């Protein structure tokens, strides 16, 4: 079961999904101020498999991909029978690429690109059916270019989500900060999964073709 999923009557195994996402277009001219880079296909699929199979947080849910970029997490979510995927990004150029990726895969009926600053993006819980889960899965900026950028993404996700998955740098200082920060907002860390992102050469100052980045994948739940 963990190697197969069913979408629109067609089965696709994990290897084929990775290949499909690997062949989607990435940023043509990545913008460093937004810390733009494409998550590698293996990581994107592994994370969505984890959320979809281990916790059933994707199927029939409204999935929100904050800072969606060119849509790799959004596309992977669509293949797990998400009810809808809202792909939110401030950069219209990134969303144009996302839309072309979505169009090529005939996913326009599931994935909705939304150009918005997350500070102004809202979902009114009272306007969504009570039986539909809202799952946010995101790869936010780490705050290298803009201090505290990751906090803004967490705060926004917590304002409307039932469950939140988010990627952050793996180190003790970051982990301790996140633990305290989310507790203040009446959320808690449910699970932390360490893994490695493979970052392809994106900017001129990158000296290597690929670089391994140690990160943690967090699952957050609201405190009872």
pLDDT of residue 43: 92
Q: Looking at residue 204, what is its pLDDT?
A: 59
Q: To the nearest whole percent, how much of the chain has pLDDT over 90? A: 66
43/210: higher pLDDT: 43
**Distance of alpha carbon 118 from alpha carbon 65, whole angstroms:** 11
43 contacts 210 by C-beta, under 8 angstroms: no
Question: Is 75 in contact with 106 (CB distance < 8 Å)?
Answer: no
pLDDT (0 to 100) of residue 104: 95
At 75-129, the pLDDT tens digits run 999 998 899 999 999 999 999 999 999 999 999 999 999 999 999 999 877 667 7
What pLDDT sits at residue 27? 81
- Per-residue pLDDT band for 147 (boundaries 50, 70, 90) equals low
**What integer pLDDT is reported at residue 12 of this predicted model?**
67
Nearest to 68 by CA among 86, 49, 83: 86
Residue 121, both tokens = 């993006």
Average pLDDT, whole number, for the chain?
A: 86
Given this model, what pLDDT does residue 127 score?
Answer: 66
Q: Would you say residue 142 has pLDDT above 80? A: no
Average pLDDT over residues 195-218: 75
Q: Which two tokens stand for residue 54?
A: 């281990």
Domain 7-222 in CATH 3.40.50.150: yes
pLDDT at 70 over 90: yes
């Amino acid at each position: 079961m963990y190697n197969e999923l069913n979408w629109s009557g067609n089965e696709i195994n994990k290897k084929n999904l990775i290949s499909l996402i690997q062949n989607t277009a990435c940023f043509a001219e990545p913008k460093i101020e937004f810390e733009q880079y494409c998550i590698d296909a293996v990581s994107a699929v592994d994370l969505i498999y984890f959320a979809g199979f281990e916790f059933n947080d994707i199927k029939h849910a409204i999935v929100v991909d904050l800072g969606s970029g060119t849509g790799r997490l959004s596309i992977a979510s669509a293949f797990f029978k998400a009810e809808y995927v809202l792909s939110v990004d401030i950069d219209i150029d990134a969303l144009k690429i996302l839309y072309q990726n979505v169009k090529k895969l005939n996913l326009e009926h599931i994935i909705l690109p939304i150009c918005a600053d997350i500070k102004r993006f809202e979902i009114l819980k009272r306007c969504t059916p009570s039986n539909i889960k809202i799952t946010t899965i995101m790869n936010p900026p780490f705050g290298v270019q803009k201090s505290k950028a990751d906090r803004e993404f967490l705060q926004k996700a917590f304002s409307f989500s039932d469950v939140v998955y988010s990627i952050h740098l793996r180190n003790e200082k970051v982990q301790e900060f996140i633990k305290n920060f989310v507790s203040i907002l009446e959320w808690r860390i449910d699970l932390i999964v360490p893994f490695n992102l493979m970052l392809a050469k994106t900017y001129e100052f990158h000296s290597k073709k690929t670089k391994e980045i140690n990160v943690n994948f967090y699952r957050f739940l609201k405190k009872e």
